[in-house]
Amino acid sequence: SYVLTQPPSVSVAPGKTAKITCGGSNIQIKSVHWYQQKPGQAPVLVIYNNGDRPSGISERFSGSNSGDTATLTISRVEAGDEADYYCQLWDVDSDRLFGPGTKVTVL
Amino acid sequence: QVQLVESGGGVVQPGRSLRLSCAASGFIFSDYAMHWVRQAPGKGLEWVAVVSYDGSDEYYADSVKGRFSISRDNSQNTLYLQMNSLRVDDTAVYYCAKDGLLLVLGDYFDYWGQGTLVAVSS
């Protein structure tokens, strides 16, 4: 089965850039999606198909996918970006699969 | 705007059954596949099941295959999850989620409900 890895936590100062990685074997051939989940709330789609942004999502959120790593980048980080972030993809053996999640802390 | 409202959660003993519902509004329900995704307390997200836009196809995670059944009533804009032979490790918040693609089984979820808690305990 396919395995996704994410760092458990990322810390970033306000106004700086946060990069959250999602690792997987040759992940570049897959479409990766990203969700933000704040405490006590449902997840929200922030990036789909590696780098597309749903309507209503800030331009500060961007995504890329190359080699064995997909990356969610949050520019000019704000206090309101503090949340758990999950990557997700579809795999023929693992079906719809989520990464373990990364907790982003704004210092 | 898109709204998904889950109901039917609660406390249930191991081995018993429960049926969850998800009432949808704000979009053409019959045009989209629908999913259930769950989250155990303090844990990450786990996809559970999907049903195609017309109800003709269903797919399940291995962890629930043979015990859970997903269905939909397009005349009532409602999604269901029938959960049988419940186990302690089925304890989770269950979210219904709308598929991101029109008329096909897509692989991402563009809208989510607020979730309903299922607690399996003796």
The per-residue pLDDT for range B82-93, each reduced to its tens digit, is 999 999 999 999
The count of residues in chain B is 122
Residues of chain A with pLDDT > 90, as a percent, come to 94
Q: How confident is the model at residue B58 (pLDDT cuts 50, 70, 90)?
A: very high
- CA distances in angstroms from A94 to A1, A58, A88, B63, B89, listed in the order given: 6, 31, 11, 11, 19
pLDDT of the residue at A17: 98
Question: What average pLDDT is seen over chain A?
Answer: 96
Rounded CA-CA distance B63/B21 in Å is: 20
> Closest by alpha carbon to A34, among A73, A3, A1?
A73
% of chain B residues with pLDDT over 90: 97
Task: Tell me if A48 and B110 make a contact (CB, 8 A cut-off).
Answer: yes
Q: What mean pLDDT value characterizes chain B?
A: 97
The shortest C-alpha distance from B75 to chain A (Å) reads 26
* Radius of gyration from C-alpha coordinates of chain A: 13
Please give the C-alpha separations between residue B51 and each of A6, B7, B27, B72, in angstroms, as whole numbers: 29, 18, 17, 8
Instruction: Give the chain A residue nearest B36 (alpha carbons).
Output: A96
Cα-to-chain-centroid distance, residue A18: 11
Regarding beta strands A102-106 and A9-12, do their DSSP bridges make them parallel or antiparallel, or are they unpaired?
parallel
Any CB–CB contact under 8 A between A88 and chain B?
A: yes
Q: Closest residue of B to A102, CA-based?
A: B44
In the predicted model, what is the mean pLDDT of residues B75-99?
98
Whether B80 shows a pLDDT value over 90: the answer reads yes
Q: Which residues of B touch A95 (CB under 8 A)?
A: 47, 59, 61
Residue A24 in contact with partner chain B when CB distance is under 8 A: no
Over residues A2-25, the mean pLDDT reads 97
What's the pLDDT score for residue A91? Answer: 86
Let me know if B64 is exposed, middle or buried by CB neighbors in 10 A (0-12, 13-18, 19+). buried
What confidence category does residue A92 fall into, taking pLDDT thresholds of 50, 70 and 90? confident
pLDDT of B94 > 90? The answer is yes
pLDDT at A27 (0 to 100): 97
Q: Between A33, A99, A101, which is nearest B108 by CB?
A: A33
Q: What is the pLDDT of residue B75?
A: 97
Residue B68 contacts A, CB cutoff 8 Å: no
Q: Is A75 on the interface with B (CB under 8 A)?
A: no
Nearest CB to B61 within list A43, A54, A95: A95
Q: Tokens 């304890």 label which residue?
A: B91
Q: Does A23 touch chain B (CB under 8 A)?
A: no
Residue A93 reports pLDDT greater than 90: no
